[in-house]
Chain A
Amino acid sequence: MSRITIDYDKETQFSEAWIALAVMLTIFGFVFRQRNLMLVAVLLLTIVPIAWLWNKLALSGLRYERIFSERRAFQGETLELTLRVSNWKLLPMGWLQIEDQFPLDVPLLGEELLTSQSSSFGYLSTAFSLRWYERVSRRYRLDCPRRGFYRFGPAHLKSGDIFGLFSQEGWQQEVDWLIVYPKVVPIAQLGLLSKEPFGETKARQRIFEDPMRTVGVREHQPEDSFRHIHWKATARQQRLQARVYEPTTSFNLIIFLNVATFPKHWQGTDPVLLERAISVAASIASYSAGQRYTVGVMANGSVPHSDQPIKVLPSRDPKQLARILEALAAVTGFATSSIENLLLVESPKLPWGATLVVVTGVVSEELVVTLLRLRDVGRRLVLVSLDQKPPDQELEGILCYHIPGVEIDFRPPSRRGEVRGEFVQGRQAVETFTRLGG
């Protein structure tokens, strides 16, 4: 016996043939005086057009939004995400299916994403039913276990008439971004000196003075400017007295991050080492911002979908730390050039007295040579090496930190409470710095 097979590939099982059938039934019904045939024709001619029109209007007046409790988070934090669907029309939406593209690295707590062809994102499939002029909001919790620059969307929408006879699909192209900052830890925890870890910060020469900070008064010298005369002291002493100002000590610090984790690029990437290097760079930046240094960051890595190296020029702007952390959040393991090349290209453009802090997971011979060359031309250098073995040769005149086994991340979920405490510290550092600067 042959079995009936159904065309499962068809989008909808209804077509113009129904209208043709209805017209045919009308003719037969009228010619043969069959009221029931006329009734079937009327029902078809009513139901099919209404359903077709309903389907056409289904996606109009529809708004789909993703609302994040925070747009920026620290690694390990949990955020709240609200998906909100609004139906701004009189027609109810019997069914609405939304497949929203979500990054797999930021999992939804208690929900599973549908897999996709890509290993980096999946789909959150949700179903809604909305009445006329109604808004439905659903709350989810997002875990942020990994640093990154994450895209949410676009969303694929599917809906139709209330009877489900027809369906239509649409895309919402708007995307949202979530930035998960790298982990920030206190400098002492990294094994760096807690006091002036990057060398002396006091000015050796009194070249520039801060006219707002007077430290004393002395006899006026012929070379002193008239603007420096302390008139009240002169009147009291009956001799010309001049103000003595505090020398300015603006400390410039530029972090050079090496995203390469092996001596040769074709050897691949060690993701754990890369994350540690990024975290160390972020921690140094956080410390520097806290000390009110002029700080910047450069890396031979790139942000996603770009081939340009990451470059945040040194500044004391209140938002500088946030900028640096955002840049470090976006770093990928793809090296656009070698760190030696980056150092040689960028160092001439940097302020002369700036301290260059090189954070690297691997110390190659080329890097050592470059550092020595820069030292020889008078650059202040600090090397933070996460390599397992210390540098082969003595780097005299370069402050070196060798912190191969420092544990920064990847704690078990049972210690989430402790981890969360540290994130609060990190967030406080950003906020405090912003407040102070502001």
Chain B
Amino acid sequence: MRSLHLNWRREALYVTLVAAEMCWFTPWSLVIRQRAEALAPYGMALSLGLLVLAVIYSCRILGRLQIDLLYQRVLLIVAVVVSIPLVIHVVLYPSYGWFDLSWLGKAKGSLLSFQTLPPEAGAFALALFLWWRGISIGQRTLNFQGVTFSFRLGVLLVAFSAPLLPIPAAYHFATFIVLFFFFSLLAVALARVEEVNLAKGGVGAPFNFSWLGIVLGSIAAVLVVAGLISRVYSIEGFSQALRWLQPVLVPLLRAVELVLLLLLWLLSPILMWLFRMLQQVVDVLADNIEGLEPLESLAPEDFTRPVPIESPLWIGALRYICLSVVIAGILAILALMLRQRRERQRRGDEIRESLWSSAVFTDGVLNSLRHGWGRLQDLAALMGQFGPGMRLYAAVSIRKIYANMARLAERQGFPRQPAQTPYEYLPVLGLAFPDCQAEAVAITEAYVKVHYGEVPESIGDLQCIREYWQRIQSSYKNVKRET
């Protein structure tokens, strides 16, 4: 058997990916359970997540066991068969004890009723879906691009799920949304450092638990900020803002209303014809669906809550053994971490020292303020030169385009020397962008003109300069791709 190399960041990446998926998926799985009062969403998310993790690790371990593919498949099928009743139990019959199998009879009765689509069938499909997700994640190469793709897809799924979920499930969805962003950001951060770490040479991985602490703190801070913003950026906040804007909005809406009424009056003959057509179509459809049952008959039959049975003594003992094993495991991990840390300190190949001092910090803040003040002065000077409005916008845009072009040239190894004038720098720009020499000349000319108070006369001229800059950018990208 090949050894299973455990890298805590990679394992944490699996856990966070699964957690993020469960965050958008659990509210949907709650829909299967039709009794709103029995909902326990967080416990259910945890159970489903553990199942997916179990699938992932089973796949990984089976992949490393050098056994025949046929045996591997048989083992997987057995695992699937065992896990499906477990999922049905967790989702639909959580009040039954783990060793009370009386719910099986109920589930069988429900499955064999054939009158409606039973919730057990939904739970069955859910179990299969979880297996598919587990196998899919377990076999994936966890690179940065893949993880960010999952994040983007997850955001879209969350956005689409939000208005579609029924009320009881949607009630808990806000918490799941926040948790989704928490786990997704953590997953992206882990994927990024894994990618960086794969390419690195040098001593010891710098992405340790201290790094994890900073990342977790940053994510928590960002989510807290988002929470504070959401107090204002909400339906109530917008309603309040609209109330404040009522004196302006009411006449505006009145005017829009009048325009719309006028349009409707003008379009009324066409609209009346369309309505008549639609009515005919609806009449034809209504004749075809008369034979269907009313929705009330689809409700499931009520069932009595089973009496919990007293668990035997050995189960209590087993619980204590499990608890002891978990504590021992945690202690072992702590001891291992301490040993690794001591070893790193003994090796002494990486030295960390704090540069913090109040003087340095004050200097930094003062420098930043000075820099900001300088930029403001610069902007004020521009405003004084060109006045507020289109001319200022054009001047700022051209200066920015020139600065970006110089930065791009510097990135290619052609920096502008402090004493170099734009015209002296122009031949160097020609070397940096050999395919876009005319564009570089045009941008430099525009920059020099702005310096002496001339700006493009029209939006079209400015757009032309922008296009030159875009051409330079695309040329740079092409060169980069080729090399």
Contacts and interface: CB of A to CB of B under 8 A. Distances in A.
A163 B189 contact: yes
A45 B229 contact: yes
A275 to B, nearest CB: 29
A200 interface: no
Interface of A: 4, 6-10, 13-14, 21, 25-26, 28-30, 32-47, 50, 61, 83, 86-90, 92, 94-95, 97, 111-114, 124-129, 131-140, 160, 162-165, 169-171, 173
Contacts of A87: 355
A39 B180 CA distance: 12
B215 A162 contact: yes
A171 B413 CA distance: 8
A83 B158 CA distance: 45
Contacts of A165: 148, 188
A133 B355 contact: yes
A124 B235 CA distance: 53
Contacts of A9: 481
Contacts of A45: 229, 233
A138 B347 CA distance: 11
A28 B205 CA distance: 45
Given A13-B148, A135-B353, A95 B174 contact: no
Nearest to B412: A171
B192 to A, nearest CB: 3
A127 B189 contact: no
B267 interface: no
Nearest to B149: A6
A133 B233 CA distance: 34
A42 B229 contact: yes
B392 interface: no
Pairs of residues from A and B, 4 with the lowest C-beta to C-beta distance, nearest first: A164-B192, A36-B162, A127-B200, A46-B226
Contacts of B410: 171
Interface of B: 144-146, 148-149, 151-152, 155, 158-159, 162-163, 170, 173-174, 177-178, 181, 185, 188-189, 191-193, 196-197, 199-203, 205-208, 210-211, 214-215, 218-219, 222-223, 225-226, 229-230, 233-235, 238, 349-357, 360-361, 364, 410-411, 413, 415, 481
A50 B354 CA distance: 25
B411 A169 contact: yes
Given A34-B162, A39-B174, A163-B188, A95 B353 contact: no
Given A37-B162, A42-B226, A92 B214 contact: yes
A345 B217 CA distance: 73
5 contacts: A35-B234, A43-B223, A50-B222, A127-B196, A136-B351
Nearest to B181: A43
Contacts of B229: 42, 45-46
Contacts of A90: 361, 364
B361 to A, nearest CB: 7
A196 B16 CA distance: 79
A289 B196 CA distance: 51
A35 B200 CA distance: 44
Could you say which of A14, A87, A127 has the most chain B C-beta atoms within 10 Å of its C-beta? A127
A415 B209 CA distance: 44
B90 to A, nearest CB: 25
B413 A133 contact: no
Contact of B205 (A32, A41, A127): A127
A163 B351 CA distance: 25
A160 B233 CA distance: 28
Contacts of B360: 88, 133
A7 B144 CA distance: 11
Contacts of B223: 43
Given A50-B225, A173-B413, 12 more contacts: A14-B148, A26-B233, A33-B235, A83-B202, A127-B200, A127-B206, A128-B206, A138-B203, A138-B351, A140-B202, A163-B189, A164-B192
B196 A86 contact: no
B202 A127 contact: yes
Contacts of A97: 196, 199-200
Given A86-B355, A129-B211, A35 B364 contact: no
A40 B155 contact: yes
A30 B355 contact: no
Nearest to A37: B162
Contacts of B146: 6
Contact of B193 (A10, A34, A92, A95): A95
A137 B225 contact: no
B230 A124 contact: no
B219 A163 contact: yes
Given A29-B235, A33-B235, A162-B189, A113 B349 contact: no
Given A40-B159, A94-B193, A126 B202 contact: yes
Contacts of B148: 13-14, 165
A7 B203 CA distance: 32
A167 to B, nearest CB: 8
A95 B193 CA distance: 7
A40 B158 contact: yes
Given A40-B159, A88-B355, A137-B350, A8 B193 contact: no
A35 B177 CA distance: 11
A111 B230 CA distance: 50
A181 to B, nearest CB: 28
B152 A13 contact: yes
A42 B230 contact: yes
Could you say which of A36, A38, A134 has the most chain B C-beta atoms within 10 Å of its C-beta? A36
Contacts of A33: 235
A88 B214 CA distance: 17
Contacts of A61: 364
A67 to B, nearest CB: 12
Contact of A125 (B181, B200, B364): B200
A41 B185 CA distance: 16
Given A163-B219, A171-B413, A134 B355 contact: yes
Given A126-B202, A136-B351, A162-B214, A95 B192 contact: yes
Contact of A133 (B155, B193, B354): B354
A21 B156 CA distance: 9
A347 to B, nearest CB: 42
Contacts of A26: 233
A291 B367 CA distance: 57
B177 A126 contact: no
B356 A133 contact: yes
A160 B355 CA distance: 21
Contact of A30 (B197, B219, B235, B353): B235
A39 B170 CA distance: 13
A107 to B, nearest CB: 12
A210 B351 CA distance: 59
A37 B173 CA distance: 10
A128 B200 CA distance: 9
Contact of B188 (A41, A92, A126, A164): A164
A68 B73 CA distance: 58
Nearest to B176: A36
A164 B234 contact: no
A242 to B, nearest CB: 65
Contacts of B411: 169-171
Could you say which of A10, A21, A43, A61 has the most chain B C-beta atoms within 10 Å of its C-beta? A43
